[in-house]
Amino acid sequence: MSDDEKKQKIERETKKYTIRIRTADQRFAGTDDRIMFQIVGSVGKTIFMDLNNSMHNDFERGKVDDFQMRAACVGDLESVNIQKLHQIVADKWIVARIIIKCGPSIWCTPNSLTVVKDEMVNLPLSRMCPDSFENESK
């Protein structure tokens, strides 16, 4: 298989996901822990992906962080699994909203705060109107 064919195969079997995460605007909401993230869909799930923008302090109080991922095509998105990797001190993370864009479709978590400690958290996703991605701005 040529390099071009390999590239086409990967593009067919994977999707580009833009993951936008808003950290709650309250005391101790931010974290410096590593965050692993998995998307669960109607026909499968992605591997756990490390959410990390290099040279940037992600997941700070009241901030919005974007992550670009290429991962397996999982059909219609259903939920996300979040696993925070405990580092030296307990550093809980409070998530306000997660929005995932994949092609023309947008999914989001419920509009409520989620406290992420050391146990894996599963948050359901529902479809939202495409315009709302831009509205959930930085």
Q: How far apart are CA 49 and CA 44, in angstroms?
A: 15
The H or E element spanning position 41 is strand 34-41
Is the CB of 16 or the CB of 28 nearer to Ca ion? 28
Number of residues engaging Ca ion in binding (CB under 5 A): 7
Binding residue for Ca ion, selected from 57, 68, 87, 122, defined by CB under 5 A: 57
SS3 (DSSP) at 11:
helix
Is the CB of 32 or the CB of 50 nearer to Ca ion? 32
Q: Does 91 bind Ca ion (CB under 5 A)?
A: yes
SS3 (DSSP) at 8:
helix
Binding residue for Ca ion, selected from 17, 19, 22, 31, defined by CB under 5 A: 31
Is the CB of 60 or the CB of 78 nearer to Ca ion? 60
Q: How far apart are CA 5 and CA 82, in angstroms?
A: 34
Q: Does 63 bind Ca ion (CB under 5 A)?
A: no
116 phi and psi angles, rounded to 5 deg: -105, 115
Binding residue for Ca ion, selected from 32, 50, 76, 118, defined by CB under 5 A: 32
Look up residue 136 and give its two tokens: 């959930």
Is the CB of 8 or the CB of 26 nearer to Ca ion? 26
Q: How far apart are CA 72 and CA 52, in angstroms?
A: 19
With CB under 5 A as the contact rule, which of the stretches 9-17, 37-45, 84-92, 104-112 interacts with Ca ion?
Answer: 84-92
